[in-house]
Every structure is written in structure tokens, then in C-alpha cells.
Structure 1
Amino acid sequence: MIEVAHLTKRYGAQLAVDDVSFTCEPGTVTGFLGPNGAGKSTTMRMICGLTPPTGGHATVAGRPYRRLPNPGREVGLLLDASAQHPGRTGRETLALAAQLLGVPESRVGDLLALVDLPASAARKRVGAYSLGMRQRLGLAQALLGEPRALILDEPANGLDPEGIFWMRGLLRDFADRGGTVLLSSHLLREVEAVADRLVMIGNGRILAQGAKDELLAGAGTRVRALDPGALHRALAAAGLAHTPAGGGALLVDADAEAVGRAAAAAGLVLLELGSRGAHGLEEMFLSLTTTPEGTAR
């Protein structure tokens, strides 16, 4: 369980995080979304005790991070994949962390296998790693202490599509086994694919939060017809509110069945009909973060 209550952070006259509150429950992945400079990383650093808050507090497993007796056994962190000693090998990095956490060194090999870093890569110095390899090593280190929670800031940076798909499965499996995941990412489609809950932040303030399905439930239907003008007239005649969506498509404030019936009654040939789906999160994100309140400084 991760609980954030009224976290606030000022840097002189700049209010970087403004009264942020949310909860991440066991068994869930929470996507933490916002434009650059919105306050995501600062919030995560306050949760982890790396940045002292001006106001409010955060707890992990019921305690402030700094009061956890062995933090790595409760929460795994990956806040900056580049913050690893470049002179150590991947295996040495994990072996040292295992000693500090008090876990068997046998877990080092298990975690290297889990994150798909082969023996040849484990023998290399971290300074020679690509960003994707550093991310995999960072995930291994976060999981080393068998924590109940993960806090990850942009963990997909540097991963190829196969790696992103792999990471999605790893995080989903962790949550399905009762773990808690707080995931910050700019890859909206990937967050939508794995997250149960969403927290959107802009200019240091929470703009929206809740269960993903509930937030996107009002996304409506996306439809495109061979004759766009006739489709517009058919929807208007049926009393279905709609707006342009680009590419000749319309977004309709109704379910797919109602839209389909209106099009069928007008004898229209449809080229596309369905939930906003993959477009939903992206469009909601843009609509919230491009307003004066949500635009990043």
C-alpha cells in the first residue's frame, strides 16, 4: 500500500507539487501521468524520502519510507536507471545490493535471468550498458528484496518494443500476485495496457484520478463512414452529439450500438466503428494537460 496525503513541495517561489493525494492499493498498477515538469518525479522522490516535502506526508506499508527498517524489502525503486556505478559489473551491482538487503546471493542469478540479462551482459561493466540494459538491471535491483511495492519512474525508457511488452507482463504479474505498483511513464498506450488506476498531474496538481475503466467509460464511440457528410446528418437526426476526431472520423457521445443503428437506418457504409479504446487515454490526457491548469511550466 502506498498512501500520499496532501504532499506539497516549494522551491523558493515555485510551487512544484501542490496538495497531491492518492492511494495505490495492493494488487493494482497505478499509472502516474503528466507532461514534463508536472511534478511526477518530485512526488515520487518525496514518497521515497529523497526530497523532503514542504507539507503533507507519504507512507509505504503504513510507514514513512525513511522509517522502514529495511526499505528494499518493502519497496523496490527505479527512479533513475543511469544512477548506477559505471565501474561495477551488472552481477557485482546486484551482489552488493543483496548483501545490503540481507537476501541470499542466489537471488542474483535468478533476477538476472528474470530480466533477461545473460551471463555475458552480467560480466560487463555498467558503464558499457545501453539505456535498455540499465533499465533491466534497475528492475532486477528493485525486485531483489522481494518487495511488496514497486515505484518506477519511466522504466520503459530505452527499451525496444519487445522489451516494453516484456516489462508490461512482469508488472502485471507482480500486481496479480498482490503487489502494489506506482508507474510513471510518458508511453500512454503502454500505461493503458497495464494500469488498473490512473492519476494525472499537471502543474503540480492532480487533474484526474480513479479506476482506468471509470475514467475512460465516457470516452464514447469513434466512427468513420464512406460518406462523412451523410454520417453527420444521420447522427444529428438521431440526436447523437458528436465532434470531429481527425482523419474523417467522428467521436459520438453514445455507445457503438446506437451509432451503428443510426448509420444502418441511413444506409451508410461504415469504415470504422468502435470504442475510442486506444485513443481514449491519449485524448483525455491531452485535453487535461493542455489547459492553463494542466500545462507544465
Structure 2
Amino acid sequence: MITIEHLTKAYGGQLAVADVSFSCPPGTVTGFLGPNGAGKSTTMRALVGLAEPTSGTATVGGRRYRDLPNAGRSVGVLLDAGAQHGGRTGREVLTLASRVLGVDRRRVDEALERVGLAGRPAGKRVGQYSLGMRQRLGLATALLGDPQVLVLDEPANGLDPEGIFWMRGLLRDFADRGGTVLLSSHLLHEVEAVADQLVVISGGRIVAQGSKSELLAGTGGTLVRGPDRALLAKALEVAGIGISAGPDDALVADAEALAVGQAVAAAGVVLTELRAAGGAGLEDLFRSLTGSSHEVQEVQA
């Protein structure tokens, strides 16, 4: 259980985060979203003991990170995939981490296998790794101590589409087995695919938080596409269904798919695509909440 309560962090006279409060219960993935400079990294650094709060608390299981016995066995952390010794091999990085954590050396091979770095990649020096390979090694390090909590800042940077899909499954499996995940990412579609709840921060303050379904309710609609866009639009308008421009030549109808399909069928208009338009829901929500970093209104769902 991650609990952030009235967290404030100032650097000199500059507030990085102000009165931030949210929690991440076991069995969930929490997507922590916000534009650059919004306060995500500061909040996560305070949580794992790398920044001292000016006021408020950031705890795991009711204890500060620095007060946890052998913290790496409770909390797996990946904040910067580049912060690894470039002269060591992947296996050496994990072997040293296993000694610090006091875990069986056999877990090194298990971790390398789990993140797809077993075999030849394990023997390569980290300085020769791509960014995606460094991300995988960082995840292996975070998972090495078999923690109950993961704190991950932009873990998908540098991963190819297959790697992103793999990471999504890994995090979903971790949460489904009772783990707690706090995930910061700019890849909104991936966050939407894996997160159970969302926390949005802008200008150092929380502007929205709640379950994904609560926050995205009403932001979707139905995407429709056909060979004659004008006829399609007219059929929906006649049926009293509001429309807006969608991607490419598609339309987004403000109604459920069944109602849209029935209206179009009644008009005798041909459809080539009919599906939920939820893929843009989180992007729309994000833009609406973080469009201005100067005027922040606190909204909670």
C-alpha cells in the first residue's frame, strides 16, 4: 500500500509539489500522469527516500522507505534506466544487487530470463545496451528482491512495441498477484491499457484522481467510418446523434455502438468501421486537465 498524504516539496522558494495526496492499494496499477515538470518525479523521489518532503508524508505500508528493513525486498524501484554502471555486464549488475539485497544468486538467472536478457545479452556490458535493454535490466533489478510494491518512472522508454506489450503483461500479472504498482509514463495508450486507477498532476497539484472507469466515463463515444462520410454524418444527425471529427476520415458519435448501428442501418448507409472510440479517452482527459499549468483547479472523481 502506497500512501501519499499532503506531500509538499520546495526547492528554495520554488514549490515542486504542493499538498499532494493519493493512495495505491494492493492489487492495482496506478497510472501517475502529468506534463513535464508537473511534479511526478519529485513525488516518486520523495516516496523512495531520495528527496526529503518539506511537509507531509510518503509511505509504503505505513512506513517511510528509509525505515523499511532491507527496503529493496519490499519496494522495487526504477527511476532512471541510465543510472547503471556502463562497464559492468548485465549479469554483474544483478549479481551485485543480489548481494546487497541478500537474495539467492539463483534469482539472478531467473530475473534475467524474466525480462528477456538471458544468454548472450547477460554477458554484454551495460554501456553497449540499447535504452530498451537498460529498461529491461532496470526492471530485473526492481524485481530481484521479490517486492510487494513497484515504483516505476517511464519504464517503457526505449522499448519497441513488442517490449511495451511484454511490460504491460508483466505489470498486470504483478498486480493481479496482489502487488502494488505506481507507474509514471507519457505513453497514455499504454497507461490506459494497464492501469486500474489514475492520478493526474499538473503544476505540482493533483487535478484528478479516481478509477479509470470513473475518470473516462463520458470521454469515449463510438467511432464510425464509411465510404460516404457526408451521408454517414447526415444519417446520424437525422437520428439526433451528435458527432465530431475523428481520426483521418472517421466520425465520433455521441452514442452507444448499438444506437449508432441502428441509426445507420435505418438510413441504408454503408459502414466500414464501428467501434468504441475509447482509445482517445485518456488523451482527451489529459489535455483537458493539463492544458494550462498556470491555472490549476483541483478536481477529484
TM-score (norm 1): 0.92
Which residue of structure 1 lines up, in the alignment, with residue 9 of structure 2? Answer: 9
Deviations 1:139-179 (A, max 9, x none): 11101111000000111111122211211111111111111
The DSSP-based 3-state class of the residue aligned with 2:52 is coil
1:122 maps to 2:122: yes
Q: CA RMSD in A?
A: 1.9
Aligned residue pairs: how many?
294
Residue 47 of structure 1 and its aligned partner are, at CA, apart by 0.9
Deviations 1:49-77 (A, max 9, x none): 11112222111122111111111011100
How many angstroms apart in 1 are the aligned matches of 2:139 and 2:164? 13
How many angstroms apart in 2 are the aligned matches of 1:177 and 1:149? 11
How many angstroms apart in 1 are the aligned matches of 2:224 and 2:13? 47
Kept in 1, the 8 Å contact 2:75–2:148? The answer is yes
Residue 279 of structure 1 and its aligned partner are, at CA, apart by 1.9
Structure 1 range deviating more: 38-47 or 81-90: 81-90
Kept in 2, the 8 Å contact 1:226–1:268? The answer is no
Which residue of structure 2 lines up, in the alignment, with residue 135 of structure 1? Answer: 135
Kept in 2, the 8 Å contact 1:199–1:210? The answer is yes
How many angstroms apart in 2 are the aligned matches of 1:260 and 1:78? 46
Matches within 5 A, 1:140-179: 140-179=140-179
Identity of aligned residues (%): 67
Matches within 5 A, 1:194-213: 194-213=194-213
Structure 2 unaligned residues grouped into runs of 5+: 297-301
Matches within 5 A, 1:236-255: 236-255=237-256
The one-letter code of the counterpart of 2:102 is G
Deviations 1:12-32 (A, max 9, x none): 333221222111111111111
Kept in 2, the 8 Å contact 1:15–1:204? The answer is yes
Kept in 1, the 8 Å contact 2:109–2:118? The answer is no
Residue 233 of structure 1 and its aligned partner are, at CA, apart by 3.6
The one-letter code of the counterpart of 1:189 is H
Kept in 1, the 8 Å contact 2:221–2:278? The answer is no
Residue 246 of structure 1 and its aligned partner are, at CA, apart by 4.3
Kept in 2, the 8 Å contact 1:61–1:74? The answer is no
Matches within 5 A, 1:250-289: 250-289=251-290
How many angstroms apart in 2 are the aligned matches of 1:189 and 1:251? 18
The one-letter code of the counterpart of 1:68 is L
Which residue of structure 1 lines up, in the alignment, with residue 299 of structure 2? Answer: none
How many angstroms apart in 2 are the aligned matches of 1:163 and 1:49? 29
The one-letter code of the counterpart of 1:169 is G
Matches within 5 A, 1:214-233: 214-218=214-218, 219-233=220-234
TM-score (norm 2): 0.90
Deviations 1:199-245 (A, max 9, x none): 12222222222222232231222223444334434333333333323
Residue 254 of structure 1 and its aligned partner are, at CA, apart by 1.9
Structure 1 unaligned residues grouped into runs of 5+: none
Which residue of structure 2 lines up, in the alignment, with residue 183 of structure 1? Answer: 183
